[in-house]
Amino acid sequence: MPRALKIILILLLFIGFFEAGLLSSYTIITSEAPDVKGLIDLQINTISEFFSSENIGNALIKDPKQVNITNKVDVAENLSTLAKVDGVDIDNFNVTTYSSSDGEIAVNITTLGYSSPNTNSGQIVLSGTPDYFITATAMANRTSDGIIVDISTLKIISILKLQNGSNTNSNNGVTSTVGSNNNGPITIG
């Protein structure tokens, strides 16, 4: 007998014994004659729901969806305070989410931060280039007015120090600052 035919025969025997066991156990448990068509329909529906496009779509990794928030200025001020920077760039404020549900959703926030002005020999030098790349998370609520970020849930994930061209560093111009303690940020790199 060819090998493919043997495999098909073994699968059919497995399915046959499975169905016979299911029907007999149903008879023992309910003390009634089984509804064969109903049990087979139940199995087919269960398997088709398991492989439905909705369940498969939820299992796959999705791209984040960019959202607009209504309290961008409040979030920016709170980010500046938490990250201990002089300010953040509202124009490059990026808020994304993976959730498509209504109500409370988790959002990821990325923006550029600016350090305090530097003084060189009595002069104050204001720089138009950002010094930090800030990543944070928070919870937000969908309302009729739009998406509002709950500032009390704002949490800094990472702060990357961007190096300018005059300062060379062995790790390709990026110093990572993660977390903080009572003495200020902890710098890695």
**Which of 15, 31, 59 marks a domain boundary?**
59
Q: What is the model's pLDDT at position 142?
A: 86
The answer on 92 and 38 residing in a single domain is no
Of 117 and 6, the one with more pLDDT: 6
Q: Specify which residues 167 forms β-bridges with.
A: none
- Judged against a pLDDT cut of 70, whether residue 55 lies above it is answered with no
**Which of 15, 43, 59 marks a domain boundary?**
59
The answer on 115 and 75 residing in a single domain is yes
Q: Tokens standing for 80?
A: 């500046």
Q: Find out whether 54 and 94 touch, Cβ atoms under 8 Å.
A: no
Q: Find out whether 97 and 106 touch, Cβ atoms under 8 Å.
A: yes
Lowest mean pLDDT among 32-36, 65-69, 78-82: 32-36
- Judged against a pLDDT cut of 80, whether residue 106 lies above it is answered with yes
- Give percent of the chain with pLDDT exceeding 70: 75
Please, which pLDDT band fits residue 47 given cuts at 50, 70 and 90?
confident
The answer on 158 and 83 residing in a single domain is yes
- Give percent of the chain with pLDDT exceeding 90: 25
The answer on 32 and 78 residing in a single domain is no
In total, how many domains does the chain have? 2
Of 140 and 40, the one with more pLDDT: 140
Q: What is the model's pLDDT at position 50?
A: 78
Give the Cα-Cα-Cα angle 181, 133, 96 (nearest 5 degrees). Answer: 105
List C-alpha distances in Å: 24 to 18, 30, 52: 10, 10, 30
The answer on 112 and 31 residing in a single domain is no
The half-sphere exposure of 125 on its side-chain side, counting CA atoms within 13 A, is: 7
pLDDT in tens, 144-168: 888 899 999 999 999 888 886 443 3
The answer on 105 and 75 residing in a single domain is yes
The answer on 73 and 29 residing in a single domain is no
Please, which pLDDT band fits residue 8 given cuts at 50, 70 and 90?
very high
The answer on 80 and 24 residing in a single domain is no
The answer on 160 and 73 residing in a single domain is yes
pTM of the full structure: 0.54
The answer on 108 and 33 residing in a single domain is no
pLDDT in tens, 124-139: 555 567 888 999 999 9
Which stretch of DSSP H or E encloses residue 178? strand 174-181
Q: What is the model's pLDDT at position 145?
A: 82
Domain holding 23, by residue range, is: 3-59
Spatial distance between the Cα atoms of 23 and 177, rounded to a whole number of angstroms: 63
Please, which pLDDT band fits residue 23 given cuts at 50, 70 and 90?
confident
- Judged against a pLDDT cut of 50, whether residue 176 lies above it is answered with no
Q: What is the model's pLDDT at position 60?
A: 65
Spatial distance between the Cα atoms of 12 and 114, rounded to a whole number of angstroms: 68
The answer on 171 and 128 residing in a single domain is yes
What three-state secondary structure class fits 123? strand
The answer on 117 and 24 residing in a single domain is no
**Which of 19, 43, 59 marks a domain boundary?**
59
Query: Alpha helices, DSSP H only, in the chain?
Result: 3-30, 36-50, 53-59, 72-83
What three-state secondary structure class fits 52? coil
CA dihedral 76, 82, 88, 94 (to 10 degrees): -60
